[in-house]
Structure 1
Amino acid sequence: YLNDQYRVFIQMLTSMAVDNTSHFVPTDFTAPFTTIGLPIPEIGATIVRMVMALFTLSAVIWFDRRLEQGKAALAIFLTATFYMCVFNPRVEPNTFAMIAVPAGLAIALLWREERGGVLASVLSTTLFVTGLSGVERHVHDFLFPWFRPVAVTFIAGSLIWWFWAKAREKVVNAGVANG
């Protein structure tokens, strides 16, 4: 069984590298635009990726310096996973499963610190629906490839904003205590 898994894995890697019989459908941030008939040129997508990489790096440094250690680690994990899921040019539909853990943990933290609330409820429901979007064939066909990048951007963007607000609140409170 194990050797068979290695063989299947090697075949999959080889087919992805040299097999031109199937068409790769990117599901990154360009997918919603392509779906509505406004494809983004490769140079434009590259520029957006580079700008977002700089924003991601800035956010990671900000979280590292401004949040408590545990929250900072979760915020950094979420931010990096968001970038990889939405701005990686080779994103495939199953790549979005990677954001479920940091987003779920961040929503749980939000729920605990804000004692529930509308934002935590909406984000948890959206994360759940996003995870189920590939289960039923007709729903998957309707939502592919545009839904996951949009949903993940909404979820992660809201959580990153919340972490950013928490870090800013800490900085403001420290300034008031010192001044």
Structure 2
Amino acid sequence: MKMYYGEKICLRAYKEEDIQIATSFVNDKELKKLLVTDIPFPMSLWEEDEWIKSQKSNKNGNYNFAIEDIKTKMYIGGCNIQNVNWLTRVALVGIMIGDKDYLGKGYGTDAMKVLMNFIFKDMNIHKIRLSTFSFNIRAQKSYEKCGFHVEGILKDEIFKDGKYYDEIVMAAFNPME
């Protein structure tokens, strides 16, 4: 199994052992607020199991990685590449650090840098795009450390806890071009 290493993490394929932990991550109320743009409906263990099993083939054109702490070998989150446009060489990415003990300690930034390196060097992608919410300042700072810049702001795009928030669209370009 090929893995991609950073200073703190490695990106690897999902394993069946990740299912229980992944389900707890995606059903965590605080985490769901940062990830889900629509109604935060709970995900069942069966749905998460089916999703992880579907990641073994990449038939849908998405590339999903589990994020593992190098020292402890623990699964701490995930990241993905989706909506790859091979003509314009633009891809959409997403990342989640689900284990709260790893938040704010550089694990997400390290994982994003490893993912970006894979995308730019191995996939020959020109531009990576992502979105975050205006209240997720920690994510915005992490993305800026990785070389992302704000491309646009979608006003009042997200409705959370009875209030509207902006969606921040950010992008990074292949530094090798």
Q: TM-score, normalised by structure 2?
A: 0.31
**Larger RCO (CA within 8 A; separation ≥ 6):** 1
* Larger fraction in helix: 1
